Structure 1
């Protein structure tokens, strides 16, 4: 998480009027207590009205107001549709984030009074995608932190295999999610349907960017394959 995003998250945590221990904030953000202390010092120095002290806890003394967002109704519709899809086609962590985004938009958008109560979007038939939701938080973390994962995978031919993969990107195809990865067993790029992962767990090993095995290499590999198959425009 970038520092700017982390600072915003700390403000969100302490803005409920309750006292929050640095340890609890650190656990929520998956950082050290010392990092929280430094971040709060930065926020206070920037004028954010946070009260408290180390060992006691922190709380926001008064509300922090965001400036109005200049979004047109069409832009709000686009955002609403995207968040509706996330709330139906992603895991619980992302669904919660999507609801929070729309709550913030509803609170701060400058034209919220003229916005319709219903955007007219219904999003359904995501049952297949939901089967893999339990793996999504770990997959996102593995992509961010470079974690090798061990998966038990059931192929479309109903054959089970165990793979060690380097997750590079998750992709949504309208009904299912896939994880594009470097497969250690096959020594090449593979796209695994997340709903067909029977299990998914860290191996305890990390991977570094390595020529020929990066997301950029994967995307080039896909483009080259499309060219060979005659899909280029």
Structure 2
């Protein structure tokens, strides 16, 4: 891989808003960590807003500017429906972002003589289902930064447990939000309903990538379980 291609690949990797360590970048690009340090320094010197330091990791903080693109009517409808769902079913932070994005879409869609607001989408979410939404931004930021969370979780039986977890991803199931994590109390993966969190606090502890505890490990386990269920049903 040529250096220019590698630099572009580094930007693509770190632009997801998550913290990436030099060793992980080096492994992904089949180069040494020393090469990654030099590449990061070159990118920063050229004006790319990458933040971080050796031993901690790197993240791209600047907003992402997409190149001009042509969208079909169906693509605009799909994007608008997605943002309407986010607007009605997510926390205030994502709701605000969805409203802003919808406004930008409307300005461009007006050139087609049909605004997204005319497409007739209606999305409804019971108010009580929004309980716990205040914790979602905390969880998302912890996922991006690779920080552990300290939570108090209310079980279906009414018991409250204190846990330290490594958040991996959030999930929306049409009625409730959950987040999957490595639970240090149980020493295993667990899925927590956001509306059953009594407390959720970010810590300063940064968790490193450990084999058997990553999102990929979790998704592989879920896929294996689903495959086994399908085989049993067959």
TM-score (norm 1): 0.68
Structure 2 residue aligned with 1:147: 147
Structure 2 residue aligned with 1:161: 161
CA shift, 1:67, in A, is 8.0
- Pairing 1:206–2:203 present: no
Give the secondary-structure state (helix, strand or coil) at the position aligned to 1:100. helix
Structure number with greater Rg is 1
- Pairing 1:119–2:119 present: yes
Give the secondary-structure state (helix, strand or coil) at the position aligned to 2:204. strand
Q: 1:117 to 1:230 in 2, by over 3 A?
A: closer
Structure 1 residue aligned with 2:91: 91
Structure 2 residue aligned with 1:179: 179
Give the secondary-structure state (helix, strand or coil) at the position aligned to 2:86. helix
Is the contact made by 2:89 and 2:125 (CA closer than 8 Å) also made in structure 1?
no
Is the contact made by 1:128 and 1:195 (CA closer than 8 Å) also made in structure 2?
no
Deviations 1:95-141 (A, max 9, x none): 11111111111223474423464221111124344112101111011
Structure 1 CA distance for aligned equivalents of residues 230 and 190 of structure 2 = 21
- Pairing 1:220–2:220 present: yes
Structure 2 CA distance for aligned equivalents of residues 218 and 130 of structure 1 = 27
Deviations 1:184-215 (A, max 9, x none): 00000000001111100023211011100000
Structure 2 CA distance for aligned equivalents of residues 161 and 169 of structure 1 = 21
- Pairing 1:131–2:147 present: no
Larger mean CA deviation between 106-115 and 180-189 belongs to 106-115
CA shift, 1:162, in A, is 0.8
Unaligned runs of 5+ in 2: 1-10, 16-43, 49-65
Q: Which runs of 4+ in 1 moved over 4 A?
A: 2-5, 66-69
After superposition, the CA RMSD in angstroms is: 2.8
Structure 2 residue aligned with 1:191: 191
Give the secondary-structure state (helix, strand or coil) at the position aligned to 2:218. helix
**Aligned residues, how many?**
178
Larger mean CA deviation between 110-119 and 205-214 belongs to 110-119
